[in-house]
Each structure stands twice: as structure tokens, then as C-alpha cells.
Amino acid sequence: MRLGVLDVGSNTVHLLVVDAHPGAKPVPKSSKKTVLRLMKYIQPDGSISERGVERVMESMHAAAKLIKNAELDELLPMATSALREARNGEKLLKRIRKETGIDLQVMTGEDEAATTFLAIRRWFVWAGGRIMLVDIGGGSLELAVGDDELPELAMSVPLGAGRTTKRFLLTDPPTDDELQALREHVRKLLPKAVRAFGALPFPDQYVGSSKTIRSLARLAGSVNDGIGPNDRVTLRKWQLDDWVPRLAQLPSASRSALPGITADRAFQIVAGGVVLSEVMAAFGIEQLDVSPWAMREGVLLDYLDRMPRNVWARTA
């Protein structure tokens, strides 16, 4: 059965196509993405600018062509924080449906966290014990914790790498004052989450997911991609704190020359590193195990879990 997940996020429009089989992990067939950087088109009133709307539509029309050629049995289209929070988001969603036929399902922040948690639980299986998830997207930070496949607590905080870059890191490279202002902002928003998670049993394992965290782990020295059975990827706080100040001294155009930093993430990787450093400090996390699976894989797994077995028999 061929499935596609279309993820319209704050930074990219990403189509992941997989072949799914009963009792096995989804097998990726293709992965296509268009860089969007939607956060930079958010206006002071919270709406997406006209140019931003056109960029979204260009990306969605391109995605529609890819979807048509992919010969999918099912498309799972979703949108996250940027469209969810935009004042004109609903109007844009209607236009997308009308012009492309793609009916994007807008996920709540808690849904994002819970769906990503499912993916990392499946990746690390039950040997991980009680897991806490840290995921930094373009628009928001997702946190979740639990012993099972559904988290006991899931929370979304508006501390995404793209959002915080746009608001605080106004020069390139950023100034010390801008970096300090961002750190102070993160410290103001985290205490509520720290109290809520602190009231629950202590995790056995901390897991980071998202392109931002994978990029930072690669920069900090990981030589594995995390895909193989023995490819454990970790990111230690001291490594992160060693690299973030050095990253901040470089203009964004130069950062992509570093290991793990892709051109589409270079402009927001400093803010992502600052947010992650503050999160790890606030929760007392010294090391993150890095998951190659995140929300898109969680969406696929959730869909497969909900399929009746008689449908599997017909499509296998």
C-alpha cells in the first residue's frame, strides 16, 4: 500500500511517500520538499502577507503535481503551527482546497506532540522506558512524556526556530543583545511547562526529534544518521553549548558549510540551538538521544494502526 504524508510546516512543504506493509515499518520511496520559510511572511497583525500566500499556493500546486504522479492509495495532508495560527489561515486553507483539491488537516500543538511521541516510542520501543520528547519545529516547541505509546502529558510552546529568529535575531549574524533577549524570552515561557512535567515521574530517556535537533547533533560530532540498528545518535548539552556561540558568530550564508547544517535551515539554526540549550537547562537534560522519526512518521503509524485488518488483507 502506497501512502503519502504532505506536511505543510513553517519552513517547508514536504511530501513523504512510503510503502506500508502489515507488521513492518513504513519503507520510504521518495521525499520531496519545497523551502517555504512561512514565518518570515507573518505580518504584525498575525496574518500571512500577500506574497506569503502566493508562496504557499506555488508550493501547494507543485505538491499537487507530485501527488498525482506518486500513484498513492491514500494521502495524509496536514498543516501545523504557521497556518494554524495565521489570522487568514482558514481563508488560505479554503483556497488550497479549491485550487488543488488538497484538504489540509490542521493539527493542534498537542496533536503534534502526541503524534511525534508515537513515532519515537516505536523507534526506541519499550526498552526506552519512560520517555520525554523534545521537538523544535519552525513555529513551536513540542514536549511530551509517558510510559506508553500515547503520552501522559503533551504540550506545545510558541518557541519554534523560525518564529524566534524572526522576532529576536534581527541582524545577521545576531548581536549579543539579541541572543540574550531570546534567552530571556525562552526563560519566561518555560516555567509553566517545567512545573507541569516536574509534577510527573522522572523520565528514563530524553529524546530529541526534528530537523533542527538532528542538524545540531550532526554538527556536534555525530557521524551516524540514526537509521541503522546500531546507529545511536546523541547530543550532549556541553557540545551544544560549545557550538551555539560559534554558530552565532557566522552569517547565515556561511553556516551551511558546516556538517549537518543545510541551506534551508542555516538562517534559523542559531535560534533553534538557543531554545534547545535553554530547554535542556530548564529540565536538567544532559543528553538527548536523537530520533530519525518525527511527526510525519507518527502520522503514518497512527493511520496504519486505525486501519481494520480486513482492509490490510485486501491491500497487502
Across the chain, mean pLDDT equals 92
Q: Which helix (H) or strand (E) holds 29?
A: strand 27-35
Query: Rounded to whole angstroms, how far apart are CA atoms 190 and 185?
Result: 9
**Buried-exposed string 194-215: b where 16+ CB fall within 10 A, e elsewhere:** eeebeeeeebebbbbbbbbbbb
Average pLDDT over residues 277-293: 97
CB count in 10 Å sphere of residue 290: 24
Residue 311 reports pLDDT greater than 60 = no
Residue 180 reports pLDDT greater than 90 = yes
Residue 75 reports pLDDT greater than 50 = yes
Q: What is the band of 197 on the pLDDT scale with cuts at 50, 70, 90?
A: very high
Do 31 and 14 meet the contact criterion of CB atoms below 8 Å apart?
A: yes
Query: Rounded to whole angstroms, how far apart are CA atoms 296 and 14?
Result: 9
Residue 230, pLDDT score? 47
Residue found by looking up cell 511517500 in the block: 17
Residue 228, pLDDT score? 45
Residue 83 C-beta-side C-alpha neighbours within 13 Å? 26
Catalogue all structural domains in the chain, each as residue range(s) with its CATH number: 2-106 (3.30.420.40), 109-296 (3.30.420.150)
Q: What is the band of 221 on the pLDDT scale with cuts at 50, 70, 90?
A: confident
Residue 307, pLDDT score? 79
Q: Which tens digit of pLDDT belongs to each residue from 20-50?
A: 876 777 899 999 999 998 999 999 999 999 9
Do 8 and 78 meet the contact criterion of CB atoms below 8 Å apart?
A: yes
* Grid coordinates given for 68: 498525482
Q: What is the band of 227 on the pLDDT scale with cuts at 50, 70, 90?
A: very low
Residue 166 reports pLDDT greater than 50 = yes
Do 296 and 42 meet the contact criterion of CB atoms below 8 Å apart?
A: no
